[in-house]
Structure 1
């Protein structure tokens, strides 16, 4: 809808467009008659008329009210009917197919014109407002005087207020130029540029010591292991597309802020689950402009959630505008992300006005839920002192011939408000349209449809949990309760850094990413076990050779919190861990990194039952929030762990993470009037990664596949038996 029609320069296109639905039925029917061989003129044929006589005016056909209502109804569902649909409509309504075709053409033109008129009015008002503000700042600067002597202010004595005015003026200048250029396309006026009163301040680099551990450009968060990689086949916008991208960013930002602030009837709170969901009919009335109608076969998911998080508003803004840090923070949701183009880095030394074009792949940590790939722009804007917004919106509709992204993001993102003591209030909006042709496994349908899989609640819960973890990483002193073999803060940070990479690798390796190729096997217990192989070469963080990954997901009749406590507890580990061989598991080090007792990183030692020596160390992280829980672990060489704890680089420690992801099943229970979502059971994914051959060129044997399949099946059986045996306690 953001592509413009080319009109005759000698006519005003707005005067040529029908303004009522009834007028649409009158236009082009003469064309229908001419194309079918009949001019439908009053009087005789052209041969019988006097050549000097002026021919009579053609008689227009008016559609009946029934025909208009039927076509209006069809237009709401499908504004672009194909030939088959037009023929079917023409038979039902008694019209010619070309009459139906022209009616839909005129209807689309009418809708576009109405939207452009509204946009034109808004842009004019905004433009005039910014011009007035700019002039006020110019007058303030011209009249600035020294507070001591009353004389003109020189640069060295420039007041703090004047510095702010100069920076704000630079921002306004960019805003005015940009909006004027957009308005010029509508009203035909030349673009007005104001003189720059102060040179723009170069944007400062990010200086956040918050978990951007060892990330290399181009490998943001997820790991790519070959296969059909959709994300890397996408390119940034062309020069012709960039004006449309900028225009879309402005409209999307306005929509996001209103979505975050408006209440009923736009947002409705569910009686069963208490979640806020979008009223789609009200949305279309409130926001007629957008990225076009929902594609056929797509399903809408829209939700809103708010929360208070332990991070300053500016740190959060900078994390969201840095693709590496954003992927790290949301590694359980975002498997991979790439910045294709940076259209603006912002003004006044911060992210205000920053605009990027990105691709991302969103995941649920299981092979049974397809990932969602999206091509979108990300725009950041400061709205007032202490209030910022970051919006995402898809741009793949601007390039119909490009790769098919099966997830469209209508304006989504967050409104961030500064709170005291380094906290921030976040209002998160997720509004997406997803292709339902890639089916979700029946186990996970309720989770996805309840917005616990990809919705706003998941994003806010993950952000809250990760902000707690960042606070633990940044702690300058050894907190009380941490200890064991950890004797200094550097060793503590290195252990947290290693654990973070372990969890990210686990999540990226267990999802149904487009970079993975899973093969289904049948486990001994009847579960559907998915396996895949990956070659590791020249990767210091992974053993060299052939790695076999296996994962399975199933339902358990136990609430997620209880299942999480069972799996993370070293005292019950021998009940399900086959590799421990019934030995005693002892916690050698413990780092708390959240409010919940289970949010921690541990170093475990396994003493086999048939030996007095400890020959195995296990690094483990437990993480839980209201939307998901994880228990991830990896065997670690004793010498490598000693190196990490004494200040060595943890990026060179080879890890093959295994573990569990625990999600609520999405069922809704009411207990004593309180809503409990996902309380009836848990969706557990069990995943293993094993090095089956140290030679990357080796061939995988069927025996290795059978061994891993048996390992995962036995683990599942042990967990089920333990849960069944202790169900009265759980």
Structure 2
């Protein structure tokens, strides 16, 4: 027997604990105590020249057996020097040592085969029984409501689940094939390929199939859509478990695979599936063509829900793998999109993926998506996120909502939005850039959305792909500027490089808290107030801060509203960020002009910066207050957020100190592209182009302005809020909007 054959591979990775396991299973060895002498090749040659000799049987002593077994656990393949040492120590011939180890390895292989055969037989019986039940269920489906036969027609929920289960069974069979190939040295893929697939939906067959991806200039390559771990066997995405996998989790695998297949196709297909807007603007989905091409992987659209689907492609200054890591970390993902994600949390990790590439990673995520307006409810979604590396330097990350029937324990959660296959395809480019194709596709209940914001959402600009790509580009530029030692054109007098980072970190927290106040995120516990003099379009809320060092302690009042402005987004943005014009609307300016002390650029775009303002020379000595301000503007919208801070705290920050203890309450403005409230468009069902609001307002010459204020009304957390405080904040909002309109009308 060749000691370096297939059994040698097992010996090299031998687990000593396996010997104990085999003895517990009842496999007693004879080779440990018995050995045949004279069975060598030399003896066999001698026997060929004369009559066969009787084989001499030799039984080892208990001490010899114990020594050999102990050495076998440490080294199943002793070399000649080790065999000689064992021979000298045990009083045995070198050939006896060699044959004992050969026989021991042979019996270990036999035990492994026998043990694996038992396991495979049990699993095969189980799969056969489950398949029989599935066949019976397919032939006679029952209605969940009445218990009678299901009416033929569109695919029923039961059939959909059976198809998902079929895909899971195929994955289980592939796992068995992989185990067989690993331990027995032969593959069962030939038997796996004989399983008929006529009953599988095409979207689920990709679990063991391959799909082309011609849209990434790789037409000659094929992308594995299953779970290929390098040995030719398609493995299930989730980790094997000791007990049977819960059915809901196995269903998530099928849904994730189907969603990945749909995302890839939607990313590479063009007209007639996608229709470009005016002047090559944002692409919207042709719903009729979509229904002809795809079948839903999460069930039919609920009654009253509207469909939103957009696509956008852009270059971002970030390597693909770094972007994948950000998307697969819920906290970093939320930090990357602070104005769009109010909260994100990973509920479960079904698979952590392969190595640093995160290939085949699968998670269950809870998230809240927001538009910066109190007139748009936060969208709460629970979905599975699946990451797949298709080629070297090419990834795809897809999200798809968990159907309530698949997640029965949480069937009443997140009722206002379903996330259809959405996500991005990422391809590494030259010079550390990545090409990102983003697809956003959802079905939502927008009945609670104010009529002013409904055109923004139905046109795809509220939660659409353009906002995601624009935000990603802006945030990647911010990270690049943060790491750069020198920023051309930035006025950083009196601030150290560490202070610049600390200042940007403080501004990021300020913006995050502003968004949470405008949209009433669940991050903070807000209590909504209803006061007679407050209009329906103004939302007033209150909360108490006791422990957070980043905010002043006491009762915090937040008020926000959104209004239509008959001026362009760019003009309104330039006005609000101009420190010389600030006295026309900001009561913090004390009626005088403001001056910019520090300016830290966050990107190449106009007005994309963090700045520190102080009062003019006339009133500068009257108080120790400064104003920290962050601004940005791009085709998806604009933001101006500010908060008063004291001089001593900012001195610490600008010298690189910890900004977490700087207490601030932010206020500010969010501006959205101009889509008139009279616009009644939506998703395209024909070849008509969609509306494309431009950054200069060339379509409707207007924009939507959201105004939000957070004010400390009482420094005692237990104090009761008075009606006068609410009216004061309400009047502040009304007066600010009127002053802005009056100033812009005059100019």
Normalised to the residue count of structure 2, the TM-score between the two structures is: 0.68
Are 1:685 and 2:706 an aligned pair?
Answer: yes
Alignment of 1:368-517 (within 5 A): 368-397=375-404, 398-400=406-408, 402=410, 403-405=412-414, 406-437=416-447, 439-475=448-484, 477-513=485-521, 516-517=526-527
* Alpha-carbon separation, structure 1, partners of 2:334 and 2:239: 34
Q: 1:614 to 1:484 in 2, by over 3 A?
A: farther
How far residue 571 of structure 1 moved from its aligned partner, in angstroms, is 0.8
- Among candidates 271, 279, 289, match of residue 282 of structure 1: 289
Q: How many residue pairs were aligned? A: 558
Alignment of 1:667-686 (within 5 A): 667=676, 676-677=693-694, 679=698, 680-686=701-707
How far residue 123 of structure 1 moved from its aligned partner, in angstroms, is 9.3
How far residue 565 of structure 1 moved from its aligned partner, in angstroms, is 0.6
Q: 1:176 to 1:584 in 2, by over 3 A?
A: same
Q: Name whichever of 570-579 and 111-120 sits farther off.
A: 111-120
Q: Deviations over 1:64-121 (max 9, x none)?
A: xxxxxxxxxxxxxxxx9989xxxxxxxxxxxxxx9xx7462x4356786599679969
Question: Over aligned residue pairs, what C-alpha RMSD do you find?
Answer: 3.9
Q: 1:692 to 1:293 in 2, by over 3 A?
A: same
Q: 1:599 to 1:272 in 2, by over 3 A?
A: closer
- Partner SS, residue 420 of structure 1: coil
How far residue 507 of structure 1 moved from its aligned partner, in angstroms, is 0.8
Does the aligned pair in 2 maintain the 1:378–1:392 contact within 8 Å? yes
Who is 1:604 aligned against?
613
How far residue 257 of structure 1 moved from its aligned partner, in angstroms, is 1.1
Who is 2:579 aligned against?
570
How far residue 263 of structure 1 moved from its aligned partner, in angstroms, is 1.9
Q: Deviations over 1:581-610 (max 9, x none)?
A: 112311111111112221111110113756
Larger radius of gyration: 2
Are 1:719 and 2:743 an aligned pair?
Answer: no
Does the aligned pair in 1 maintain the 2:165–2:251 contact within 8 Å? no
Q: 1:238 to 1:394 in 2, by over 3 A?
A: farther
Are 1:588 and 2:597 an aligned pair?
Answer: yes
How far residue 623 of structure 1 moved from its aligned partner, in angstroms, is 1.0
* Alpha-carbon separation, structure 2, partners of 1:622 and 1:434: 30
* Alpha-carbon separation, structure 1, partners of 2:532 and 2:618: 32
Does the aligned pair in 2 maintain the 1:580–1:608 contact within 8 Å? no
Are 1:314 and 2:321 an aligned pair?
Answer: yes
Are 1:178 and 2:216 an aligned pair?
Answer: no
* Alpha-carbon separation, structure 2, partners of 1:599 and 1:169: 43
Q: 1:622 to 1:482 in 2, by over 3 A?
A: same
- Partner SS, residue 443 of structure 1: coil
* Alpha-carbon separation, structure 1, partners of 2:167 and 2:730: 65
Q: Name whichever of 593-602 and 263-272 sits farther off.
A: 263-272
Does the aligned pair in 2 maintain the 1:581–1:609 contact within 8 Å? no
Does the aligned pair in 2 maintain the 1:333–1:362 contact within 8 Å? yes
Which blocks of at least 5 consecutive residues in structure 2 are unaligned?
1-126, 186-225, 681-689
Q: 1:354 to 1:538 in 2, by over 3 A?
A: same
How far residue 401 of structure 1 moved from its aligned partner, in angstroms, is 5.3
How far residue 350 of structure 1 moved from its aligned partner, in angstroms, is 3.0
Who is 2:40 aligned against?
none
Who is 1:366 aligned against?
373
- Among candidates 655, 659, 671, match of residue 650 of structure 1: 659
How far residue 710 of structure 1 moved from its aligned partner, in angstroms, is 2.1
Q: 1:626 to 1:10 in 2, by over 3 A?
A: closer
Q: 1:523 to 1:483 in 2, by over 3 A?
A: farther
Alignment of 1:27-38 (within 5 A): none
Which blocks of at least 5 consecutive residues in structure 1 are unaligned?
1-5, 19-23, 29-79, 84-97, 140-167, 183-190, 192-236
Who is 2:122 aligned against?
none
Who is 1:107 aligned against?
153
Alignment of 1:91-240 (within 5 A): 102=149, 104=151, 106-107=152-153, 171-172=229-230, 176-178=234-236, 239-240=246-247
Does the aligned pair in 2 maintain the 1:366–1:512 contact within 8 Å? no
- Partner SS, residue 234 of structure 2: helix
* Alpha-carbon separation, structure 1, partners of 2:227 and 2:733: 63
* Alpha-carbon separation, structure 1, partners of 2:479 and 2:418: 31
Who is 2:356 aligned against?
349
* Alpha-carbon separation, structure 2, partners of 1:710 and 1:407: 34
- Partner SS, residue 387 of structure 2: strand
Are 1:539 and 2:560 an aligned pair?
Answer: no
Q: Deviations over 1:610-647 (max 9, x none)?
A: 67555320000111111111000010111000011112
Q: 1:238 to 1:565 in 2, by over 3 A?
A: farther
Q: 1:512 to 1:648 in 2, by over 3 A?
A: closer
Q: 1:711 to 1:523 in 2, by over 3 A?
A: farther
- Partner SS, residue 711 of structure 2: strand
Does the aligned pair in 1 maintain the 2:549–2:661 contact within 8 Å? yes
Who is 1:519 aligned against?
529
Q: Deviations over 1:396-439 (max 9, x none)?
A: 421245223221111110000001111111111111111234x2
Does the aligned pair in 1 maintain the 2:343–2:521 contact within 8 Å? no
* Alpha-carbon separation, structure 2, partners of 1:329 and 1:114: 36
* Alpha-carbon separation, structure 2, partners of 1:110 and 1:355: 27
- Partner SS, residue 672 of structure 2: strand
How far residue 256 of structure 1 moved from its aligned partner, in angstroms, is 1.2
How far residue 481 of structure 1 moved from its aligned partner, in angstroms, is 2.0
How far residue 364 of structure 1 moved from its aligned partner, in angstroms, is 0.7
* Alpha-carbon separation, structure 2, partners of 1:452 and 1:636: 34
Does the aligned pair in 1 maintain the 2:440–2:465 contact within 8 Å? yes
Who is 1:241 aligned against?
248
How far residue 308 of structure 1 moved from its aligned partner, in angstroms, is 0.8
- Among candidates 695, 701, 724, match of residue 722 of structure 2: 701
* Alpha-carbon separation, structure 1, partners of 2:239 and 2:512: 43
Q: Name whichever of 420-429 and 389-398 sits farther off.
A: 389-398
* Alpha-carbon separation, structure 1, partners of 2:330 and 2:295: 31
Does the aligned pair in 1 maintain the 2:171–2:235 contact within 8 Å? no
Who is 2:337 aligned against?
330
- Partner SS, residue 107 of structure 1: coil
* Alpha-carbon separation, structure 2, partners of 1:674 and 1:285: 24
Q: Name whichever of 654-663 and 7-16 sits farther off.
A: 7-16
* Alpha-carbon separation, structure 1, partners of 2:644 and 2:238: 60
Q: 1:485 to 1:269 in 2, by over 3 A?
A: closer
- Partner SS, residue 176 of structure 1: coil
Does the aligned pair in 2 maintain the 1:115–1:288 contact within 8 Å? no
Who is 1:39 aligned against?
none
* Alpha-carbon separation, structure 2, partners of 1:323 and 1:306: 23
Does the aligned pair in 2 maintain the 1:359–1:376 contact within 8 Å? yes
